Structure 1
């Protein structure tokens, strides 16, 4: 009977862990925003399956084996910062907040499962490599022939792998492949039935495909993550700390001179690259600059998760009013959803304390990986940490799941220490599993909400606004954290003459995003109810955030021609700015708008 329970819990834990790692392939065309919402729902159900396996494990074993470590405490402290800094009144990101709580519970469930069943470690590593091989094949085939692939698996991938960090994902898996092939390089190359031989050839396949896929990508951050993590793995496997220390002591002067030269070269390359980007008006440098300034305004508490877009827009508006801002920066400015640097975004949303806790959690996970000889997993953490400097991987569920598996593999000791086991804390994993079940219940309506939203989107695109408006209202409580949902609902209310409701929805959306179309929509609704000064204030606000956005001045010029809000001087000023605007691509719409403004200038008689 004990053997039966042992095999059953191992099957449940292995299956649920495999399904969690396969989140990269998850999407559901029946849901609105099918890629992201499909992954979120997949995460909910697979976490619940893992919770069932963990509960079975806890209550069919005589003694819990959970041994508390420093990264466990750091993760709990980090979640405490999330709780304290989160604005419960505004509740900007309830879905993301619960997702973070589920991640913490997942961490402790995986820790308990891996401590109880060490045989899961190579299995999870194999699945991680598999989740890199399939996207790499897709990336190679898509680079060679951009035409859509007819095979259903790759058609699914073509939909689910569109976000920018796709190549970053396979770069994170590269050091895992490299470490596995170096570890089993002395296996019996002929005995294909042996697990060591299988993992050797499987990792060679993964590393080869990933390198080939990356050859088609010229993104420097991706290559930097893959190369540096690869060097790290080779150094740790072939040389190690001990031999390096001996070599340094033996050639201390040569090492010092070489280190200084290497540091100068790297610093020069980074400096020259940043100068060139700054001269070209690089958007990311502008985003990093403004985000850093915003962190200084909220150094301790942060803005809370979800507070980045609105805080950034406020900071950019203030920056462009100074003499420091260049014309290139104004021309290339946007209203980003992300900071394109996870450390800066965490620093802004959780404060410097939250940022330090996150860095310490990563650093100590890396330390435990070195200590436990989990070189591949620690290399993956290093690659993700480097890639996070230039992109937004932790805004996507796929990366968080991969990061948790890598950190758990690093932190969990592969060798059982009986003395430490005596100090283990009982039922930690069971508590985490129970919390997962509670959180799943709290998210139980997510699937049906996104499915209903998908139906409403069809009505919205078919311009059935009256039919859609009331049904959008019914979903407000479930989806009021989604900017695109609020915008679509507000458009339906505008088309049906319910301008007051549309304004309330758009006002909520502006707390979540600073996208210019939101400002244009709310100004349009204010103008419809003859609140011209409010409409003007919204347009002027977005003009300060994006001073070179020509459409803003077109709308201002039109507003100033209204008989009840006639301002000839303001009209001429706005019209002059719009006509001087030179878009990157000329089209018929731009030409028509310019012709309309010129026609008004030729025939204007308002205000007389």
Structure 2
């Protein structure tokens, strides 16, 4: 496990810094390095401390579940205006994903608490501690099961529901062996009927989950469809870590420019994630990276932890917990959520600890004491140097993020000059961050610093592309009298999300201002005939302005006609 995870991390690093031509700012990569260090630390915990760590994960799930319940009861505000419950997360999806990751650990510790308590009590000499362990491992998992069950249905996250159901069935079957006993009892015909019935129930359940939020489901299917085009263009090593968002919207625009306004336009939007970690992983790391991932999954399944009953049960809990995260990963973006990744690293380190077939490398090599001391000194020195430079970089990065936030606040108040100054201070550290460059370029465009806005927005497109970047770029080009480039940007923005009125509105205004009256009228008529996805005051105003353009140009053409 240690070797294959090291190869996995090494490939991602080489693909990011050596193989790919463009390097984007990536918090995810920084987290990946930090999680690698954490894995090494957790790998050296004793079994007793590791079980206590799993209990702390359960406690964190209980705290989040209570927090969510209090939000539902309106004692605390949620972190998203569109949802009543988010826990401490930014929307219910990651919140439900975190609870679903904690769930199998909680249920597993509750179902197998007798063996876990016995294991913990045997390693504690004090009678008081033995009694305390009994109460803690009896009641905390039980409270966790109840509190999470109360909150998960309200999250309306179908991926988390499916993950919780699958993990619950597996843990309950392993504990009580109900299906095994039934299969041993009945004839082959009865078994076939039971299997067919189970398949039908699963099929109907999956259909129900799909229909529950059909628009959302269709949106995910469309994202997966477009993502395959990125994979076709970059099959071997992908586009690099955190660069899905740099490529996706361009491919979505290409799709609609080729196929027109299909029914899929109704579910298209600005997209940052693939909503399927496996598809996104292939997109970013290619088939070669996916093969390494399959080796990781193979070793997770292959690891044996069954020297004693307690360890076998702990190994089963860990494997089912990893499976639960995997199920959720089919429908969401857990690898963007640090708390879920922390749980995954805890589980992987525990599985590597419990592996009964692991071997110690270099155990037969004999090294002299002076060489050992020199090597240890070298390692400690390297760690100290890396730590010093890391803290220096982190402090600098922290200041840059503070300046970015200050710039966003200044922008909201209309103080564009102060916002631009803050953006300039943050630029050296965040010059490869697409979202930062988008905000910076948009502010420059509004403040009429068009040449600089064009430079920043064109740089932003290398790392991220959205309708916001394209429309801001179109505005900057128009103000700079580069009308052809402005037209291209507006058309590209319109192709990205064909249901949006604003890019076409800007295009019609551009044609009208530069005297291309026929094109202006044509686009205005397209806007007036466009189906409204969600009515708003802005759309009504756009339609009225398009009527004005048509009326003005028809009157102009009428006045141009010669008198008979």
Fold conserved between structures, TM > 0.5: yes
Match of 2:247 in 1: 311
Q: Distance in 2 between matches of 1:281 and 1:382?
A: 22
**Does the C-alpha gap of structure 1 residues 436 and 166 become closer, same or farther in structure 2, counting only changes over 3 Å?**
farther
Which one of 482, 504, 528 corresponds to residue 553 of structure 1? 504
Quote the Cα distance in structure 1 between the aligned partners of 2:51 and 2:328: 25
Task: Name the structure 2 match of 1:198.
Answer: 136
Residues 97 and 214 of structure 1: CA distance in aligned 2, closer, same or farther (over 3 Å): closer
1:383 equivalent in alignment to 2:324: yes
Distance 1:366 1:145, change over 3 A: farther
Residue 8 of structure 1: aligned partner: none
The alignment's TM-score, normalised by the length of structure 1, stands at 0.77
- Which residue of the other structure, out of 325, 330, 335, is the alignment partner of 1:394? 335
Match of 2:160 in 1: 222
Structure 1's 423 and 200: CA in aligned 2 closer, same or farther, altered over 3 A?
Answer: farther
- Return 5+ residue gaps in structure 2 as ranges: 79-83, 122-126, 367-371
Structure 1 residues 224, 584: closer, same or farther in 2, change over 3 A? same
Match of 1:406 in 2: 347
Equivalent residues of 1:303, 1:351 under 8 A apart: yes
2:444 touches 2:453 (CA, 8 Å); kept in 1? Answer: yes
Q: Which residue of 2 aligns with 1:338?
A: 273
Q: Number of aligned pairs?
A: 525
Match of 2:52 among 110, 123, 128: 123
State whether structure 2 residue 536 is matched by structure 1 residue 587: yes
Aligned residue runs from structure 1 range 140-289, under 5 A: 140-145=69-74, 148=77, 160-162=89-91, 164-185=93-114, 193-239=131-177, 255=191, 258-259=194-195, 262-263=198-199, 265-267=201-203, 270=206, 282-289=218-225
Aligned counterparts of 1:336 and 1:294: Cα–Cα separation in 2: 14
User: d(CA) in 1 for partners of 2:174 and 2:261?
Assistant: 46
Quote how far apart the aligned CAs of 1:81 are.
Answer: 2.4
- Among 12, 24, 27, the alignment partner of 1:95 is 27
Q: Which residue of 2 aligns with 1:575?
A: 524
CA contact (8 A) 1:175 1:230 kept: yes
Q: Is the 8 A contact 1:369 1:377 kept in 2?
A: no
Which 5+ residue runs of structure 1 have no aligned equivalent? 1-70, 150-154
- Using the alignment, how far apart are the partners of 2:337 and 2:238 within structure 1? 21
CA 1:126–1:159: 2 relative to 1, 3 Å: closer
1:167 Cα deviation after fit: 1.0
Match of residue 357 from structure 1: 292
Aligned counterpart for 2:8 among listed residues 78, 81, 106: 78
For the pair shown, which has the larger CA radius of gyration, 1 or 2? Answer: 2
1:559, distance to aligned residue in structure 2 (A): 0.4
Going from structure 1 to structure 2, the CA distance change for 1:308 and 1:248 (only over 3 Å counts) comes to: farther
What is the match of residue 28 of structure 1?
none
Deviation readout 1:89-114 (Å, 9 max, x if unpaired): 53113433333222223222321x22
Give the whole-Å Cα distance in 2 for the aligned partners of 1:297 and 1:496.
Answer: 38
Deviations 1:18-60 (A, max 9, x none): xxxxxxxxxxxxxxxxxxxxxxxxxxxxxxxxxxxxxxxxxxx
**1: distance between equivalents of 2:339 and 2:358?**
33
Q: How far apart are the structure 2 equivalents of 1:201 and 1:276?
A: 35
Call closer, same or farther: CA 1:280–1:206 in 2, change over 3 Å. closer
Name the CA shift for 1:424/1:132 in 2 (closer, same or farther; >3 Å): farther
TM superposition shift of 1:581 = 2.2
CA shift in 2, pair 1:370/1:334, >3 Å: farther
Per-residue deviation, residues 154-212 of structure 1 (Å, max 9, x unmatched): x9985545362101111111111111112224769998943133111110001110011
Tell me if the contact between 1:556 and 1:574 (Cα under 8 Å) persists in the aligned partners.
Answer: yes
Q: Is the 8 A contact 1:330 1:547 kept in 2?
A: yes
- My pick for the range that moved more, 202-211 or 572-581, is 572-581
Q: Is the 8 A contact 1:309 1:336 kept in 2?
A: yes
1:141 and 1:279, CA in 2 relative to 1: closer, same or farther beyond 3 A? closer
Contact 2:246–2:461 (Cα < 8 Å) also in 1: yes
CA–CA distance in structure 2, aligned partners of residues 265 and 435 of structure 1: 58
Q: CA deviation at 1:510?
A: 2.1
- Cα RMSD of the aligned pairs, angstroms, is 3.7
**Per-residue deviation, 1:127:** 0.9
Greater mean deviation of Cα atoms: 302-311 or 457-466:
457-466
Q: Secondary structure at the match of 2:544?
A: helix
- Contact (CA 8 Å) 1:78, 1:358: kept in 2 or not? yes
Which one scores higher on RCO, CA 8 angstroms, separation ≥ 6? 1
Contact 2:5 2:296 in 1 (8 A): yes
Q: Deviations over 1:535-555 (max 9, x none)?
A: 000111122222222211111
In terms of mean alpha carbon deviation, does 75-84 or 549-558 score higher? 75-84
Equivalent residue number for residue 226 of structure 2: 290
Change (3 A) 1:489 1:338: same
2-structure distance, mates of 1:271, 1:307: 32
**Taking structure 1 as reference, are residues 352 and 267 closer, same or farther at Cα in structure 2, changes over 3 Å only?**
farther
